[in-house]
Amino acid sequence: MPTAPANAAGIELFYETFGDPADVPLLLVMGLGAQGHVWDVELVEGLVDRGFYVVRFDNRDVGLSTKPDVGRINLMERLLAAFAGQPVEAPYLLRDMAADAVSLLDHLGIAAAHVVGASMGGMIAQTLALDHPDRVLSLTSIMSTTGDPDVGQPDPSVTSVLLTPTPADRDGAVAHSIAASRAIGSPEHFDEERARRRAETSYDRCFYPAGFGQQLLAIVASGSRTEALRALDLPTLVIHGDVDPLVTPSGGRRTAEVIPGAELLEIEGMGHDLPPVFWPTIIEAITRLAARTSTPA
């Protein structure tokens, strides 16, 4: 199993690479509670076909990467305090997860990469661009937001998706994941069999529901990136579905609004998922963005 050595925070990241290391590097960052394999291989191969050397990985607290020992915390109490606007402490923040990604680039000998993040992965990608701008060739933020509390908030109809505990048994966990995927996904393009395969793979690789809550706490404790993003000088693409009920479209619109020169691609009929019907559009947009940059020697 390819795993990067422990970084300064003691985090070892499981990763996979696709394509020729001599090609243009592209780092994929996945979202809340999701393992790296949720970036479908076929989507990854579509990017490889466009000349990218693609890296996908498990964030800390999911999959085969390190689960940091955070001690005993009352997660619900802290989340409720955060939602009430009170300051909260988290075991780690999005900037720590961005630093994890940088340590993976270091391990792979990649000076800088095109960075593509989905949902929480978009938040990590934004933070990576802010904290380590020399390591990012371009930024693509998909179905994500800025951390501002007035945009991108879940539609009340799907709030329970975030807060309902996942059953511990395999059948129950898979059924819960399928139901969640259906609730937040693209209404016209939900594929139950694909959702089932993804859920079964995730459960069999590593069932660790605590990581979901701790990552959620990292999101809410990290606050808004808006003012910092206003000064970001980096080719940026923001992709968002116009029927996303989990991170509602205002989150993507705000992201594109505050980043100078950012392009907003709002995809009709796309929810909080990446069904195959939209892959050609997404691959083309990322490739077009990358063409605006030059890779350092």
**Measured between alpha carbons, how far is 256 from 291 in angstroms, rounded to an integer?**
19
CA angle 66, 221, 264 (to 5 degrees): 95
Q: Are strands 52-57 and 15-18 parallel, antiparallel or unpaired?
A: antiparallel
Q: Which residue is catalytic, options 37, 114, 240, 272?
A: 272
Q: Facing residues of 248 across strands?
A: none
CA distances from residue 218 to 93, 111, 191, 272, 286 in whole angstroms, order as listed: 4, 27, 30, 20, 27
Q: 63: which 2 tokens?
A: 């999959």
| Residue 119 bears catalytic tag | yes
103 is catalytic: no
Per the annotation, the verdict on 114 as an active-site residue is no
Active-site residue, from 119, 141, 144, 222: 119
Of residues 58, 61, 100, 244, which has the active-site annotation?
A: 244
Alpha-helical (H) ranges within the chain are 41-49, 75-83, 94-108, 120-131, 159-163, 170-184, 192-205, 209-222, 226-229, 250-258, 279-290
**Active-site residue set:** 119, 244, 272
